[in-house]
Amino acid sequence: MKLTGRKIYKGEATGEALVTKDSISFYGGVDPETGVVVEKGHELEGISINEKILVFPSGKGSTVGSYVIYQMAMTGKGPKALVLNDCEAIVAVGTIISEIPCVDQIDVSKIETGMKLYVDGTNGVVEII
């Protein structure tokens, strides 16, 4: 199944989906040294986003979150790609400076954790393999 959305940042990635219905605050919500979600009560609390295709509704929180995404990418602890319903500026800037493929305006309810995804950020396409 192919889902078409909006390109936020170019590039391609294939990997396992990690899905949450909760918005993510990268600053304070994700440990940049490990890639583990640390926000108390978050659906993904205690789970690593490293090397996953992270699927979530939207970002939230401080603008410093952009730099947390960047730090994870530079240390190899970040996600392979991001797929969202609504990519706000914090996540968009983070993916752009980190060169992580990102597509939004995707109905993320069609994707489940564990599914294999191909993300084509250049064309704004997410394919469930």
Contact 9, 94 (CB under 8 A): no
CATH assignment of the domain containing 26: 3.50.30.10
**3-class DSSP state of 124:** coil
The number of domains in the chain is 1
What is the DSSP code (8-state) at residue 36? E
Amino acid at 81: A
- This prediction has a pTM of 0.96
* Domain containing residue 94: 2-128
62 belongs to the catalytic site: yes
Note down pLDDT in tens along the chain; length 129 residues.
999 999 999 999 999 999 999 999 999 999 999 999 999 999 999 999 999 999 999 999 888 999 999 999 999 999 999 999 999 999 999 999 999 999 999 999 999 999 999 999 999 999 999
| Options 62, 66, 98, 109, the catalytic residue | 62
Which helix (H) or strand (E) element contains residue 93? Answer: helix 89-98
